[in-house]
């Protein structure tokens, strides 16, 4: 599992010019799965995300977590996080989970985030989406399950 976390002042995702998910201050998460991912991996990454201290405190040090700043989450599925560009010029997505498997994991992941008490908005799985955001910082962090 891979997640790109972007600390945002606001973010929204649209499908066919219709906003389907929108948040204020919080995290925009780009989320990708591989077929080997398991619920325990998803649990671990969700816990890591909600407890990250990457918001500035009164001294502008990254010391505050999402709950402390009353942040929200916009979660967007992103199978291209597993693009393999090691050969040729066209990416291969063979490492990405199948659509059915990824959807199950994506829904589980979002429910897990909600269990921590956060507002979680989403894009639409397997749709072409337009994502707009105002970065805060910018602060962008990548979590890869293989690094945990």
Catalytic residues: 78-80
DSSP reduced 3-state for 130: strand
CA angle 32, 22, 15 (to 5 degrees): 70
Give the containing element (helix H, strand E) for 100. Answer: helix 99-115
Burial degree of 134 (CB within 10 A; 0-12, 13-18, 19+): middle
């Amino acid at each position: 599992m891979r997640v790109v976390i972007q600390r945002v002042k606001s973010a929204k995702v649209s499908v066919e010019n219709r906003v389907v998910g929108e948040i204020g201050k919080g995290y925009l998460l780009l989320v990708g799965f591989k077929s080997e991912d398991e619920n325990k991996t998803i649990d671990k990454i969700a816990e890591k995300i909600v407890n990250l201290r990457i918001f500035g405190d009164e001294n502008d040090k990254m010391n505050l977590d999402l709950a402390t700043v009353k942040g929200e989450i916009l979660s967007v599925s992103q199978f291209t996080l597993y693009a393999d560009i090691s050969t040729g010029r066209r990416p291969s997505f063979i490492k990405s989970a199948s659509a059915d498997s990824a959807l199950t994991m994506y829904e589980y992941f979002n429910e897990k985030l909600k269990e921590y008490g956060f507002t979680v908005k989403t894009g639409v799985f397997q749709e072409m989406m337009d994502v707009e955001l105002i970065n805060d910082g910018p602060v962008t962090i990548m979590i890869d399950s293989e690094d945990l």
